[in-house]
Amino acid sequence: MISSRCKKLSALALLTAPALVPAGFEEGMAAIERRDYSAAFVEFKPLAEQGMHEAQVNLGNLYMKGLGVPQDYAEARRWYEQAARQGDATAESKLGVLHFYGLGTSVDAGEAALWFRKAAERGEAGAQSVLGSLYASGNGVERDNAQAYFWYTLAAEQGNRNAADARNGLIDEMAPGEMAQALDRLAEWQKRKDAAQDLQPARKPKATKTEAKARKAPKAAHRKNKRKHKSRSR
């Protein structure tokens, strides 16, 4: 079983809206906020069918909990799988939960671990915490304290208290060699993370008020001269 200190992910998580919000998504989120799940379903369904992974996850959540629709784990799994194919970490975590507990599918801790790993590698803190628990207990994966410490630490650094507590409890069980392996992995992870950030295009610094005024001044002067020219030509 997954450690009680690493609680399973919530079946209904409100997602952050995408940068460009299509019509209907905000309405669906608002319906969830006021607990009108039937209305949320109506809003999310067409968006999910069009391939919007955020809507697919929310639709899967509704089926998972039976909110606004009859509870249907198989249907929840179908929508999570569609979102997971687009690299949605939340959907990958939810698939891990379904496979671990055998909801809408057979119980398969190994398959669950694969899905939790996918989400964990994308930085999903809940999945990182659960994956740490699986390595600590040897459930679905070969027991490995160094791996457990590694994943617990990544989750703890994102504020996951369950992972932090579990990591602290694990320290006494670790051999010196295992701790060294875990620290090496953490250093390598940070190195890759830094390298990925360096490849991101640099954001243009925001102009100060003085710079903004300086940029506007030539345009303002041009418009003023243009008005003078027109008045003289009348």
Is pLDDT above 70 for 107? yes
200 pLDDT band, cuts 50/70/90, is confident
Assess contact for 42 and 49: CB atoms under 8 A. Answer: no
What confidence score (pLDDT) does residue 21 get?
Answer: 64
Candidates 31, 30, 27; CA nearest to 68 is 31
Residue pLDDT, tens place only, 120-149: 999 999 999 999 999 999 999 999 999 999
What confidence score (pLDDT) does residue 49 get?
Answer: 96
- Identity of the highest mean pLDDT range in 25-34, 74-83, 183-192: 74-83
Is pLDDT above 70 for 177? yes
Is pLDDT above 90 for 170? yes
Alpha helices (H) along 171-204: 176-199
Please state whether the predicted TM-score (pTM) of the whole model is above 0.85. no
Q: Enumerate the domain spans of the chain.
A: 124-198
What confidence score (pLDDT) does residue 23 get?
Answer: 76
C-alpha span between 131 and 121 (Å, rounded): 10
DSSP string, 72-119: -HHHHHHHHHHHHTTT-HHHHHHHHHHHHHTSSS---HHHHHHHHHHH
For the residues 159-163, what does the mean pLDDT come to?
96
